[in-house]
A = this chain, B = another copy of it.
Amino acid sequence: MERREFLKKAGKVAAVAAGVGAGCAKAKEAPKQAVTKTYEWKMVTTWPPNMPVLQTGAERFAKRVEEVTSGRIKIKVFAAGELVPAMGMFDAVSEGSVECGSGAAYYWGGKTPAAQWFTTVPFGLNAQGINAWFYSGGGLELWEETYAPFNLVPRPQGNTGVQMGGWFRKEMNSMEDFKGLKMRIPGLGGKVIAKAGGTVVLLPGGEIFTSLERGVIDATEWVGPMHDLRMGFYKAAKYYYYPGWHEPGTCLEVVFNKTAYDALPRDLQVALDAVAAETNMWSLSEFEAGNGAALQELITQHNVNLVRFPESLLDSLRKMAKETMEEEASKDPVARKVHDAFKKFQEQVGIWGSVSENAYYNVIADKFNLKM
């Protein structure tokens, strides 16, 4: 209630401000002078303060935009809760109380089911695949179409790469082991786990470790080694499972209020787009390098057991994931259209991925003595 009130008020203020802004852009100054108009923007994010790559990536985006525009766009970034709660980002940007936000599209499945395909899909595209879909396969246009009714313009702004499967207090040998398993796993992955007979528990980040340590939950997924190490999960659960079938290439988004974005001169729109793509690239690189270092620390200093999910279990989860995505796709015509396009693109790059990246990884992997 309180949040709604706040957003309403903020929305009104912003509407006025946006009006003023729009007015300025079309003002009676000579057109050639308009290029020097400056924009003071706010960004709200769904990330806790200082969260590596997620929140710091949003801050990096803002900094680079300011640099590349010589200060013509200044973006002040607010972490979750500093201006609006994490899950208030979508509404705040949509209503125009702030001009932009950073988050992940799958948080907004309740607003529009189709949003769920633009972050990551269980057993779907990895980072290289989903970026190819966005930039070279029509995915971004579909995302824009999905967000347009909310007056939002989305851009990919980061990617975690393949995540880890999660921390488990017991070994997972068959689908039976999911029955009654209490696991913290949100989103589509959670829907699959529920289908498998698990009990999905939703917990804020700050409560996960204690819940896992005390056995209130039996398992949790989080991100990957870099973030998981900071959370200390290795002290609370013995088995670190891979691969993260539920989040094989999680895309982080930056969204702009469409009215604000459309009012910008073309060069500033391109600046936002180019810096979003640059941050996307930087972010995946940070994850790759940081996860590599953190995984070594987890193995060598904390004796973590890296375990691959058994094949039969992955097969079953994949069937359930397929059912889940079909159910979500049936929710509305936009979701159906996006689902079909996503599937088609995954088929397009599938065999190619197998003879390129996959075949190559298999060649260089054996020296690490891991059972893939």
Listed in ascending order, the chain A residues whose CB lies under 8 Å from chain B are: 35, 64, 67-70, 123, 126-129, 131-137, 161-164, 224-225, 242-245, 248, 265-267, 270-271, 273-275, 277-278, 280-282, 284-286, 288-293, 295-296, 299, 306, 308, 314, 318, 345, 348-365, 367-368, 370, 372
Contacts and interface: CB of A to CB of B under 8 A. Distances in A.
Contacts of A308: 355, 359
Contacts of A281: 131, 135, 277-278, 280-281
Q: Identify which of A68, A135, A299, A306 gathers the most chain B CB atoms within 10 Å of its CB.
A: A68
Contacts of A128: 127-128, 161, 284, 288
A243 B360 contact: yes
A288 B64 contact: no
Contact of A136 (B245, B290, B365): B290
A357 to B, nearest CB: 5
B68 A68 contact: yes
A361 B365 contact: no
Nearest to A245: B363
Contacts of A284: 128, 131-132
Nearest to A370: B354
Contacts of A278: 273-274, 277-278, 281
Contacts of A299: 351
A288 B68 contact: no
Q: Which of A162, A293, A362, A364 has the most CB of B within 10 A?
A: A364
Contact of A349 (B134, B289, B348, B367): B289
Contacts of A68: 68, 267, 270-271, 274
A314 B363 contact: yes
A69 B274 CA distance: 12
Contact of A351 (B132, B273, B370): B370
B293 A348 contact: yes
B275 A355 contact: no
A337 to B, nearest CB: 19
Contacts of A367: 350
B266 A67 contact: yes
A224 B360 CA distance: 14
Given A67-B270, A351-B296, A243 B363 contact: yes
Contacts of A275: 274
A91 B70 CA distance: 32
Which of A127, A289, A314, A318 has most chain B Cβ within 10 Å? Answer: A289
10 contacts: A242-B359, A243-B355, A245-B363, A274-B278, A277-B277, A296-B348, A306-B355, A353-B365, A354-B368, A358-B372
Nearest to A35: B70
B274 A64 contact: yes
Contact of A352 (B135, B285, B291, B354): B291
A245 B291 CA distance: 24
A67 B161 CA distance: 30
A289 B161 contact: no
Which of A225, A271, A354 has most chain B Cβ within 10 Å?
A354
Contact of A350 (B127, B270, B352, B368): B368
B282 A135 contact: yes
Contacts of A242: 355-356, 359
A292 B364 contact: no
B360 A248 contact: yes
B289 A132 contact: yes
